[in-house]
Amino acid sequence: MSCYEEVAVTVPSSSFNAAADKSLLAKIISTPPFAVDRKAVKWAWRGIASQLNSSLGTNFSFRSCRDRAGLLLRKYAVRKRRNEATSGTSEVLTDDDDVLEQLMRLEDIAIIRVQTQKAATASKTQELETMGQRLMQAAEKRVAMRIDITEGYKSSKPKRHRLSTLLDKEQEKAAARRNLEAQKVQRHREEL
């Protein structure tokens, strides 16, 4: 090995234990990543991981912190359902159950907030699409009335054409007018 080769420094990985779990849950409660916008979630977890690493002297990645928190929440949800299913027995509570319950509530609130925002956005989009369709229909009616007037039709209800069809017809008429004008110019040149 020459002196110019770089050696990749390996950082020993840390494993979670009860103290690390408790500290992780405390960091998550202090800065809940569930309330953060979707684009900033990664940075929220990086902040949690760096706080955890600095306080415990460990080397957890943000992914391992996120995955561990998800695992703890899933385990708690399963244990909670199991305790609710077995009525008549006393619940076995751990020290972290209160914190996990708070995290589940925060996550549920964040999910509901995101769903209401999506519903509001969807309804706003639907409203805009409906308004656009109404404007398009009104334009089609105006163009159809103009065509009926120019062609001399007298009907109680003008026939509505698709706007693309009407535009095609107008382009064809414009091309025909240009051809007639070109023919007139050609005849005029021949006469001179």
**What pLDDT does 159 receive?**
60
One-letter amino acid at 100 equals L
Residue 12 has pLDDT above 80, yes or no: no
User: Once rounded to an integer, what is the mean pLDDT over residues 112-125?
Assistant: 84
Query: Worst-scoring range by mean pLDDT, 26-35, 40-49, 87-96?
Result: 87-96
Mean pLDDT of 23-35: 86
Indicate the pLDDT class of residue 153, thresholds 50, 70 and 90.
low
**Cα 87 from Cα 91, distance rounded (Å):** 9
Q: Among 32-36, 49-53, 72-76, 92-96, where is mean pLDDT lowest?
A: 92-96
Give percent above pLDDT 90 in the chain: 15
**Beta-carbon contacts of residue 97 (< 8 Å; ≥ 6 apart):** 76
The answer to whether 121 and 107 have CB atoms below 8 angstroms apart is no
Residue 127's pLDDT band (boundaries 50, 70, 90)?
A: confident
113 — pLDDT class (breaks 50, 70, 90) = confident
pLDDT tens, position by position, 65-84 = 999 999 998 998 888 888 87
The answer to whether 73 touches 100, Cβ cutoff 8 Å, is yes
Q: Rounded distance, CA 15 to CA 59, Å?
A: 9
Structure confidence at residue 134 (pLDDT): 78
